[in-house]
Amino acid sequence: MAEILGEKGIVKLLLGNEAVARGAIEAGIDVAAGYPGTPSTEIIEALIPAARELGFYVEWSTNEKVALEVALGAAISGLRGLAVMKHVGLNVAADTFMSIGYTGVRGGLVIVSADDPNCHSSQSEQDNRIYGMHAYIPVIEPYAPQEAKDATVYAFDLSEKYSTAIMLRLTTRISHTRGPVVFGDLRRRRTRGNFIKDPSRWVLLPVFSRKLHVKALERISSIAKEFSNFPLNKIVQMNPSDEGIIASGVAYGYVMDALNMLNLRDKVSVLKLATPYPIPNDLIISFLKRLKRVLIVEELEPVVELQVKDLVVREGISVEIKGKEYVPRVLELNYVKVAKAIAEFLGLQFIPPRVEEENLPPRPPVFCPGCPHRATYYIIKRAVASEKVNAVYLGDIGCYTLGVNPPFRATDTSYCMGSSIGLSMGIFRATDQFPIATIGDSTFFHAGIPALINSIYNRSGILVVVFDNLITAMTGFQPHPGTGVSALGQKARTIAIEDIAKAIGVNFVKVIDPYNINESVKIMREAIAFVLKNKEPAVVVSSRECALRAYRRILKSGKSIKRYFIDENVCTKCLTCINTFACPAIMIKDNKVVINSDLCIGCGVCKQVCPYNAIKEVV
């Protein structure tokens, strides 16, 4: 049974993301759409088995903009829609998001933005609460899994009450922290929606937009009033001293533990906030009026702080507001950082335990044994060396970004999803170097196609290598348009990347199997020569199932994998395997090069890499 299903009253230890999924079904969700991205992914994943039982709709969309539009379509037809993405996904969906701020919705629309303070698995720490402010879309941020569930239900109800979308802003430590969650009632879903035509609401022509802008502002100020009674905003403690703290989202948890640590629970007043935009003016005024100095504790940007300072000035309240003077603006918080900030704010001493960093080898993530991406990089590097081109590698985002590491060092840029192909065209215009765009399959569907079209339209001499492992691997194996299966597990039509490239008009399109080294190097060299000669794009699709998935399938089927060993009588210890291929299963042990059978999955590529044929199959 789905983890998030169960009777009212049951308590389960759920991830924050699962709690949001539970909240969505308690709110009677009709349509949920998302694009995978850490730390948001488990929300859609938890909804999938529940959707099979309850009958609502869930999809993995091609990108976040599409996901948001699918959910929006349901919401403007009077149903409840949920759109799920990681913080940078909202950049992709921003165009739609900003417009929703004007139109509002008719049913319920909750947009989950899972932010990633600390960049645990992202390219930036951007704070999407600012997006809410930018678009006049209210933001709710829970502090723990139980609250994440409750906030989701409240968000849907508020969304309908005020005809506005709501952003549910999570962070890694909410999304990926388990906590006890008490299940509530499941509300009945509506059956079918009905889109009611009204151009003055849904057609953003200037004549309508100007009026909708005014309405959006009115809507936000009524919500600011409503938020003073929002159940997750409250004055948790009021003490006789003149000092207080306002803590938003996850920061509330750190503040309470820090106060406990500093023995200040009965000295400082605390206002807990779950709505960083708009701030609940009345509640905040009543809190500030009883105090002389207030510290605002929030992760990343001073979103609450700026609004509170604005309120203080407008209302003429005499209170000193502090925030980012003491609370770090980068990285995630913890109770020690917050205790330090509070102590400084109060002029107290706090000396945390000294923490030494030990000098140990780092353990960055690496390509798994058998990963086809490793073989593809090996092939590209060989072809580039043979063709003697001065390559610049415009990389993209996915497992294959690990090509930045030695021994390949074949990722010179990585900005955001889909940017490899566009950047390669800029390099082509600007330099005499040889631009190679490396892009994953899911990334290609997500944001690569318009750029590839540009390379034909504005004839650009670039080599595009698609790292096609048939799945969205980095985020945990979600299917995409090339996989042949939908989120709900139904058979879907497979869209072949090579067919798209051909249809666009690319004149050199070849598919290689990266497990076949020599043949692939030959084709890669042809592709380079083609680009040099014709000054137009070539596309090589390097296609081979993700090794983790292939391996799991083999294990499940009960078949055994091929075994390889290094014949020590033949091995010259030239270390070509380790220094140019770097599979974690090949290691030096007792001064011999060996294959660790705990790790090897039998892809057999290293056998082709060894110049002395010392790697042999166990027969």
Partner 1 sequence: MDLIITGVGGQGVLTLGTIVGNCFLEMGYDVRVAEVHGLSQRGGSVLVHVRAGEKIFAPTISAGYADLLIALEGIEGARYVNYLKKNGDAIINNEIIPPPLPGISIPSLKNIKDVIKKYKVTYYFVDASSIARKLGNIRVTNVVMLGVALGLKLLPFEREQVVRVLRTYIPKKYLDINIRALDAGIVAGRDIVSR
Alpha carbons 477 and 548: distance in angstroms, whole number: 9
Residue 176 touches which member of partner 1, ligand TPP, none, C-beta under 5-8 Å by kind: partner 1
Both tokens of 96, joined, read: 């739609």
CB of residue 2 to ligand TPP, shortest distance in Å: 23
> Is residue 476 part of the contact set for partner 1 (CB under 8 A)?
yes
> Is residue 331 part of the contact set for partner 1 (CB under 8 A)?
no
Which of 308, 425, 463, 473 contacts ligand TPP by CB under 6 A?
Answer: 473
Residue 441 touches which member of partner 1, ligand TPP, none, C-beta under 5-8 Å by kind: ligand TPP
| Nearest residue to 84 via CA among 104, 103, 58 | 58
Alpha carbons 333 and 229: distance in angstroms, whole number: 28
> Is residue 559 part of the contact set for partner 1 (CB under 8 A)?
no
CB of residue 521 to partner 1, shortest distance in Å: 21
Alpha carbons 88 and 531: distance in angstroms, whole number: 33
H or E stretch covering 209: helix 206-226
Residue 582 touches which member of partner 1, ligand TPP, none, C-beta under 5-8 Å by kind: partner 1
CB of residue 375 to ligand TPP, shortest distance in Å: 13
Enumerate residues 407-426 that contact ligand TPP by CB under 6 A: 417
- Pairing mode, strands 592-595 and 586-589: antiparallel
> Is residue 397 part of the contact set for ligand TPP (CB under 6 A)?
yes
Residue 584 touches which member of partner 1, ligand TPP, none, C-beta under 5-8 Å by kind: partner 1
Enumerate residues 260-299 that contact partner 1 by CB under 8 A: 260
Secondary structure (DSSP) of 440-459:
EHHHIIIIIHHHHHHHHHTT
Give the DSSP letter of residue 491: B
Q: Could you tell me which stretch among 19-27, 34-42, 70-78, 379-387 binds partner 1 (CB under 8 A)? A: 34-42
Alpha carbons 552 and 369: distance in angstroms, whole number: 13
Residue 467 touches which member of ligand TPP, partner 1, none, C-beta under 5-8 Å by kind: ligand TPP
Residue 423 touches which member of partner 1, ligand TPP, none, C-beta under 5-8 Å by kind: none
Q: Could you tell me which stretch among 34-42, 131-139, 189-197, 300-308 binds ligand TPP (CB under 6 A)? A: 34-42
Length of the chain: 619
> Is residue 474 part of the contact set for ligand TPP (CB under 6 A)?
yes
H or E stretch covering 57: strand 57-60
User: Closest CB to ligand TPP among 121 and 454?
Assistant: 121
User: Closest CB to ligand TPP among 36 and 78?
Assistant: 36
> Is residue 598 part of the contact set for partner 1 (CB under 8 A)?
yes
- In a 13 Å sphere around the CA of 416, the CA atoms on its Cβ side amount to 11
Residue 461 CA from chain centroid, whole number: 32
Q: Could you tell me which stretch among 63-71, 214-222, 334-342, 487-495 binds partner 1 (CB under 8 A)? A: 334-342
Residue 92 touches which member of ligand TPP, partner 1, none, C-beta under 5-8 Å by kind: ligand TPP
Q: Are 61 and 91 in contact (CB under 8 A)?
A: no
CB of residue 501 to partner 1, shortest distance in Å: 28
Residue 556 CA from chain centroid, whole number: 30
Alpha carbons 278 and 140: distance in angstroms, whole number: 9
| Nearest residue to 537 via CA among 500, 499, 501, 496 | 501
Which of 33, 67, 76, 88 contacts ligand TPP by CB under 6 A?
Answer: 88
Both tokens of 83, joined, read: 């759109």
CB of residue 12 to partner 1, shortest distance in Å: 8
Enumerate residues 448-467 that contact partner 1 by CB under 8 A: none
Alpha carbons 576 and 593: distance in angstroms, whole number: 11
Which of 85, 216, 342, 474 contacts partner 1 by CB under 8 A?
Answer: 474
> Is residue 472 part of the contact set for ligand TPP (CB under 6 A)?
yes
Residue 39, preceding bond cis, omega within 30 degrees?
yes
What is the number of other CB atoms lying within 10 angstroms of the CB of residue 558? 6
Residue 364 touches which member of ligand TPP, partner 1, none, C-beta under 5-8 Å by kind: partner 1
Q: Are 224 and 91 in contact (CB under 8 A)?
A: no
| Nearest residue to 439 via CA among 407, 474, 406, 405 | 474
Which of 354, 491, 493, 533 contacts partner 1 by CB under 8 A?
Answer: 354
74 contact partners, CB below 8 Å, separation of at least 6: 30, 31, 80, 81, 107, 193
Which of 22, 86, 219, 340 contacts ligand TPP by CB under 6 A?
Answer: 86
Alpha carbons 172 and 91: distance in angstroms, whole number: 18
> Is residue 471 part of the contact set for partner 1 (CB under 8 A)?
no
Which of 110, 256, 288, 464 contacts partner 1 by CB under 8 A?
Answer: 256
Q: Could you tell me which stretch among 52-60, 198-206, 315-323, 404-412 binds partner 1 (CB under 8 A)? A: 404-412
Beta bridge partners of 543: 468
Give the DSSP letter of residue 402: G
> Is residue 587 part of the contact set for partner 1 (CB under 8 A)?
yes
Token look-up 């409840």 returns: 80
**What distances in angstroms separate CA 22 from CA 10, 43, 54, 568, one per listed residue?**
12, 9, 12, 57
> Is residue 42 part of the contact set for partner 1 (CB under 8 A)?
yes
Q: What are the start-end ranges of the E strands in 441-589?
A: 463-468, 508-512, 538-543, 564-566, 586-589
> Is residue 68 part of the contact set for partner 1 (CB under 8 A)?
no
**Residues in binding contact with ligand TPP, number by CB under 6 A:** 24
CB of residue 496 to partner 1, shortest distance in Å: 27
User: Closest CB to ligand TPP among 135 and 447?
Assistant: 447
Residue 472 touches which member of ligand TPP, partner 1, none, C-beta under 5-8 Å by kind: ligand TPP
> Is residue 469 part of the contact set for ligand TPP (CB under 6 A)?
yes
3-state SS, residue 292: coil
Token look-up 């765009």 returns: 437
CA angle 248, 250, 253 (to 5 degrees): 100
> Is residue 395 part of the contact set for ligand TPP (CB under 6 A)?
no
User: Closest CB to ligand TPP among 77 and 442?
Assistant: 442
569 contact partners, CB below 8 Å, separation of at least 6: none
Residue 598 touches which member of partner 1, ligand TPP, none, C-beta under 5-8 Å by kind: partner 1
In the complex, which residues of this chain contact ligand TPP (CB under 6 A)? 35-37, 64, 86, 88-89, 92, 397-400, 417, 440-443, 467, 469, 471-475
Which residues are at the interface with partner 1 (CB under 8 A)?
Answer: 11, 13, 15, 38-39, 41-42, 120-121, 144, 172-174, 176-180, 250, 252-257, 260, 334-337, 352-358, 360-368, 399, 402, 405-407, 474-476, 578-579, 582-584, 587, 598
